[in-house]
Amino acid sequence: LLAERKDFDGTVRFIFQPAEEHGRGAKAMMADGLFERFPVDAIFGAHNMPGMRAGTFATRAGGIMASEDNFVIRID
């Protein structure tokens, strides 16, 4: 994205979210005032995909990996 803008004169921030699988990390970061301390104009997310070759990435329009579920298995 920035490679196309030779005149970029801004700040790039990397945010690493703890406990992201259950959403608790984002809630804690927001409650702690993350974006008040570090305001942003745009934000992009990434997710580790162990099956992908190192040095590559995948993208698509819309949401991806935006869910987390829990379930219980009972054996009687």
> Who contacts 18 (Cβ-Cβ below 8 Å, separation ≥6)?
25, 28
> Who contacts 68 (Cβ-Cβ below 8 Å, separation ≥6)?
21, 22, 23
Residue boundaries of the structural domains of the chain:
1-76
Looking at residue 37, its pLDDT comes to 93
**Are the CB atoms for 19 and 28 separated by under 8 Å?**
yes
pLDDT tens-digit map of 7-59: 888 888 888 887 776 778 888 888 999 999 998 888 877 777 778 888 888 77
**Are the CB atoms for 12 and 23 separated by under 8 Å?**
no
